[in-house]
Chain A
Amino acid sequence: MSIEWYIVLSSLLFATGAMGILIRRSPVVILLCLELMLNAGNLALIAFSRMVGNQEGQVFALVVMVVAACEVVVGLGLIVAIFRRRLPLDVDELRELRG
């Protein structure tokens, strides 16, 4: 199975994630979509690392996982804080700041 397939797949996933961010309004789901994009990145990294035959890509992917985890944690924390503040969990409702 040639590497191209993996990369194309990953870009498809990347696009899907991006689209998700654009159409979903629940912050939780948006976080999920961000996960999708990061994972697409990971897939690409790993595929490439296989292609060039060095493992830097895999290390990178590992770091990315950590980062992703951190973003999730903070993101979820924010969501909880917003919920606590009795604000709606809908990014479209949060538009005090504009103009």
Chain B
Amino acid sequence: MEEVLFFLGAIGALGGAVGVIAMRNPLYSVLALIVHLFSLAVLFLLLSSAFLAAAQVVVYAGAVMVLYVFVVAYVGGDQESAWEPIPGQRLLAPLLGIALFVELAIAVLGSSLLTLGTEGPEVRPGFGDPAAIGELLLERFLVAFEASSILLLLAAVGAVVLAGRRRAVEGVAGSSSEHSAPKARSGEVPATPTGDPA
């Protein structure tokens, strides 16, 4: 039973991951990621960490993904063209990906750590439930907990700063119409600036 679940979860997670990087349209990628996250949650459950699984579903698949969908909808998920501007990237990227996996796999399988082969020790029933995690968070990892809350705050501020409409930005957003092309812009630059153009 457990094996089956694992493989289902594994296939889901992997499929989702592949989907993310394979889909031309960002929106589909987002959806693929959601699949991936759900299947991860299953695996978390198998690893007897119920709270994490729940958090995964709620926070990620819920809140964060919604954010994604909104943004994609806002900026418009246009197809990304197929040609590759960086020479060799097409070739090297997969190779490196494989190399990375192989190295990590070797590290894991070649390790002399015996417990890796086991399913882990028997754990008491409360293992990984919200109470246990919460206890840890408020005792041993208080600092981390507080810090991450500050971090959330900062991120929020950042999002507001970056995305929020501000007087300064408008002028430019209107004025410079063309899509960034350094060559095009360098045209309007005096070759050797003299004096104060302002």
Given a CB threshold of 8 Å, the question of whether A touches B is answered with yes
By the criterion of a CB under 8 Å from any partner CB, how many residues of chain A are at the interface? Answer: 77
Tell whether, in the assembled complex, residue B176 and residue A86 are in contact, meaning their CB atoms are under 8 Å apart: yes
Of chain A, the residue at the smallest CB distance from B159 is: A77
Q: List 6 A-B contacts (CB under 8 A).
A: A11-B104, A36-B33, A53-B127, A55-B133, A58-B128, A85-B169
Q: In terms of DSSP, what is the predominant structure of the interface of chain B?
A: helix
Asked if B192 is at the interface of the complex by the 8 Å CB criterion, the answer is: no
> Once the chains are docked, how many angstroms separate the CA of A42 from the CA of B13?
13
A80–B68 CA distance with the chains assembled, in angstroms: 11
Q: How far is the CB of B125 from chain A (nearest CB, A)?
A: 13
Kindly provide the distance from the CB of A96 to the nearest chain B CB, expressed in whole angstroms: 5
Please count the residue pairs between chain A and chain B whose beta carbons lie under 8 angstroms apart in the complex: 265
Shortest Cβ distance from B94 into A: residue: A19
Give chain B residues whose Cβ lies under 8 Å from the Cβ of A51: 115-116, 118, 120
Taking the closest CB of chain B, its distance from the CB of A52, in whole angstroms, is 7
Interface size band for B: 35 or more
Name the distance in Å between B106's Cβ and chain A's nearest Cβ.
10
| Residue positions of A touching B, CB distance < 8 A | 1-9, 11-20, 22-26, 28-29, 31-33, 35-36, 39, 42-43, 46-47, 49-53, 55-56, 58-59, 61-63, 65-74, 76-81, 83-90, 92-96
Cβ contact within 8 Å between B86 and A92:
yes
Contacts A11-B104, A65-B55: A73 and B80 contacting too (C-beta < 8 A)? no
Separation of A74 and B154 alpha carbons in the complex (Å): 9
**In chain A, what residue has the closest Cβ to B113?**
A51
